[in-house]
Amino acid sequence: MKSFRTEIENPVVEKDIIELEEKIRRFKDGSIDEEKFRSLRLARGVYGQRQPGVQMIRIKLPYGKVTTNQLLRIADVADKYSTGRLHITTRQDIQIHYVDLDHTPALWAELEKNEVTLREACGNTVRNVTASETAGIDPGEPFDVSPYAQAVFEYFLRNPIGQEMGRKFKVSFSGTDADTGLSYMHDLGFIAKINDGIRGFKVMLGGGLGSQPRHADTLYEFLPSDKIIPLMETVIRVFDRYGERKSRAKARMKFLLKEMGVNRFKDLLKAEQKAVPTQSYAIHFERYPKITVAQRQTPQIHIANQDAFKQWQVTNIISQKQKGYVAIGIKVSLGDFYTETARKLAKLVQEYAASEIRLTLRQNILIPFVKEELIPLFYQELKKLGFADVGYNKALDITACPGTDTCNLGIASSTGIAEKLESLIANEYPQYANNPDVVIKISGCMNACGQHTMAHIGFQGMSIRTKEKLVAPALQVLLGGGNHGNGKGTFADKVVKIPSKRGPDALRLILDDFEANGKGKRFEEYYAERGEHYFYDFLKHLSNIDNLAQDDFIDWGSTEKYKKEIGIGECAGVIVDLVATLFLESHEKIEKAEKEIENGKWAASIYYSYQSMVNAAKALLTAEKTKTNTHASIISDFDQLFVKSGKVIFENDFERLVLQLNTNRPSENFAKSYLVQAKLVLTRLEEHRKMELEHA
């Protein structure tokens, strides 16, 4: 692989990118185990794709904010290293596909020239911080949550406590009680509140989607804003230590909360507080960049089709609290658009708005700070780009993950059925173009990247097997989910599984029944009144697989017979000694701990020392074929198997030594003494391993 060096001014970022290039080289020559390389790669936004030999790159865009210069840079990168297609995710990121692994360091370096990062966009990290798309402009918001989302992003980026957790950690901010940030389905969700003139948040903890969705618990009804970062750090520390690491299916925060309960979790938070660098972290919202709106003369625009223009205004214009301005919603079908369109959009927003867009949780684009008199101009120009479709955030606006198009985990097509259902609604139920009360979401598998479990009408990709052992694509139909606001929501019921090609029939039946019997109710009220059993009986005939036609064995968007399969695996590498790899990582943690002491970052150094000791202990336990499910179990099991048995000698027990990190404040003296102890642990454990191998 050709050697690569960056021209990035920030030395921390430059080091990151060079490290990725070096690890790619070491992985390819067999020096790094595939699993360890995958972990490092994912934490840098590089995700294996269903197609062999190429990667999906996820670009991390906190709370969906993208400047026009950043969008232009992303377009250039997508053209140079990919296919020119951009995909907006349900977490306000942008993904590009079909990227050669060797090109990822150079791609990242080019993005960083406009302060766009890949860091922690994937992997077992703090993922992209999401927020209400209307943050800063919503007439009902007590304050703009954008500065707080930005502060959380900056604080936890590269923070050692969130780099190697058992699973990913997701955070959201909602600007109002409407909870458009969906706090109830996040590991941590914050809803803006003002109490006695003090800015703060209602805090939700332990929500999640997937095959076992869980509604978040209310951790605090009100927490002052200067406490949210110390709280989040404490939560992540506890999750990192007690969260499951072996079984991915049980490794999310929601399972830890379910297992120990909120009160026990609160006790652990209290015990961890001393280790947090600060008990109060003021977020200076007044320093958040001010909006500058372009000053241009208003051109005279003639709109020929006034009816279409008026309909678009009804569904796609959003009121702003700033007088004289509106926001324009762009319905981006399936979240996909191309670089040519992106560039033209960026130029339009630069010239006539505030040089900023927001990506939304429903895979759309919002342009804030458009002068009211410029609405005709934007309609005309967006229409030229194919970006003037009606139905922004309405029933016609279906959310879908990439599914079997590119994702390794996809079981059945989500984009194909989404296109069919959008066409069906547009042609047969045109009144739903202006209906915000029916939300339809589709995922290609149970992991719920398309958020189908919280939709009014949801579809999940599956497969079915006939008596003759033939396999066909299928859809699980889910009904009755919904967001009720202020941290409350309902997850959809799994009603019936049907062949994929009958998805349109299912939607017709549901909408026809809603039209006939809804009686003006919201969809979730109508569903709750009629109940799951009613809909099972109503749709059951669609589940019959005794009469499948040839077409039923071909998935949406495909011409070939369906095969249930996980996409071809990622780049193969020579598997090396896992125990040796763990010791190598322990040395790397020591080096990082030393570096952070040089930088005066005591808390970061302490955490690296802690990780070094746990990794070293894990190495010996792995050699003994002992389970290493959580950090807490690694520490206690090492005590039992190695220290109390006399195999490894320490003055005190291992647990007391390691957990000094949460009984001491992160001072310079403690950071230095803890590092000395970490080095001693690593030396002693490596000596024990060497002795074992010599006598094996």
Q: What is the pLDDT of residues 281-313, one digit of tens each?
A: 999 999 999 999 999 888 989 999 999 999 999
Q: What is the pLDDT of residues 102-129, one digit of tens each?
A: 999 999 999 999 999 999 999 999 999 9
Q: What is the pLDDT of residues 328-368, one digit of tens each?
A: 999 999 999 999 999 999 999 999 999 999 999 999 999 99
pLDDT at 39: 81
Q: What is the pLDDT of residues 158-201, one digit of tens each?
A: 999 999 899 999 999 999 999 999 999 999 999 999 999 999 99
**Fold matches, 130-283 and 578-694:** no
pLDDT at 600: 96
Comparing 207-211, 236-240, 256-260, 567-571, the range with the smallest average pLDDT is: 567-571
H-run or E-run covering 345: helix 339-352
pLDDT at 40: 83
Quote the CA–CA distance of 521 and 589 in Å, as a whole number: 58
Terminal-to-terminal C-alpha distance of the chain:
38
Quote the CA–CA distance of 481 and 609 in Å, as a whole number: 45
Q: What is the 3-state secondary structure (H, E, C) of 648-668?
A: CCCCCCHHHHHHHHHCCCCCH
pLDDT at 34: 78
The answer to whether the CB of 173 falls within 8 A of the CB of 63 is yes
pLDDT at 8: 64
Q: What is the pLDDT of residues 387-401, one digit of tens each?
A: 999 999 999 999 999
pLDDT at 36: 77
H-run or E-run covering 238: helix 228-242
pLDDT at 534: 96
H-run or E-run covering 21: helix 11-28
Comparing 175-179, 207-211, 315-319, the range with the smallest average pLDDT is: 207-211
* Neighbouring C-alpha atoms within 13 Å toward the C-beta of 455: 30
Give the pairing type, strands 493-499 and 482-485.
unpaired
Give the pairing type, strands 198-205 and 217-224.
antiparallel
What values do phi and psi take at 649, rounded to 5?
-100, 125
Quote the CA–CA distance of 346 and 157 in Å, as a whole number: 27
Nearest to 223 by CA among 234, 208, 207, 214: 234
Nearest to 183 by CA among 219, 146, 140, 147: 219
Q: What is the pLDDT of residues 48-89, one digit of tens each?
A: 888 888 999 999 999 999 999 999 999 999 999 999 999 999
Q: What is the pLDDT of residues 600-624, one digit of tens each?
A: 999 999 999 999 999 999 999 998 8
Nearest to 65 by CA among 169, 145, 155: 145
Domain segments of the chain as ranges = 11-112, 130-283, 306-384, 399-553, 578-694
Mean pLDDT of the chain: 92
pLDDT-above-70 percentage for the chain: 97
Whether residue 99 is predicted with pLDDT greater than 90 in this model: the reply is yes
Quote the CA–CA distance of 568 and 408 in Å, as a whole number: 7
- Helix, strand and coil percent figures for the chain, each rounded to 5: 45, 15, 35
Domain 399-553 has CATH 2.60.120.260: no
Token pair listed for 111: 């993005």
Token pair listed for 614: 């746990």
pLDDT at 696: 60
Q: What is the pLDDT of residues 455-506, one digit of tens each?
A: 999 999 999 988 888 889 999 999 999 999 999 999 999 999 999 999 999 9
pLDDT at 85: 96
CATH of domain 130-283: 3.30.413.10
pLDDT at 7: 61
Whether residue 597 is predicted with pLDDT greater than 90 in this model: the reply is yes
Fold of 11-112: Sulfite Reductase Hemoprotein; domain 2 (3.90.480)
H-run or E-run covering 609: helix 602-623
pLDDT band at 265 (very low <50, low <70, confident <90, very high): very high
CATH class of the 306-384 domain in this structure = alpha beta
Whether residue 98 is predicted with pLDDT greater than 90 in this model: the reply is yes
Quote the CA–CA distance of 514 and 143 in Å, as a whole number: 37
Instruction: Provide the 8-state DSSP code for 642.
Output: I
537 contact partners, CB below 8 Å, separation of at least 6 = none
**Strand partners for 458:** 441, 478
Token pair listed for 151: 């502060």
H-run or E-run covering 691: helix 668-694
Q: What is the pLDDT of residues 554-588, one digit of tens each?
A: 999 888 888 876 543 332 222 335 788 789 889 99
pLDDT at 469: 81
pLDDT at 564: 75
CATH class of the 578-694 domain in this structure = mainly alpha
The radius of gyration computed from the CA coordinates of the chain, to the nearest angstrom, equals 26
H-run or E-run covering 365: strand 365-371
pLDDT at 574: 29
Q: Name the strands in the sheet holding 188-195, side by side, starting at the edge strand that comes first in the sequence.
A: 130-131, 171-174, 188-195, 198-205, 217-224
What values do phi and psi take at 402, rounded to 5?
-65, -25
Q: What's the predicted TM-score (pTM) here? A: 0.92
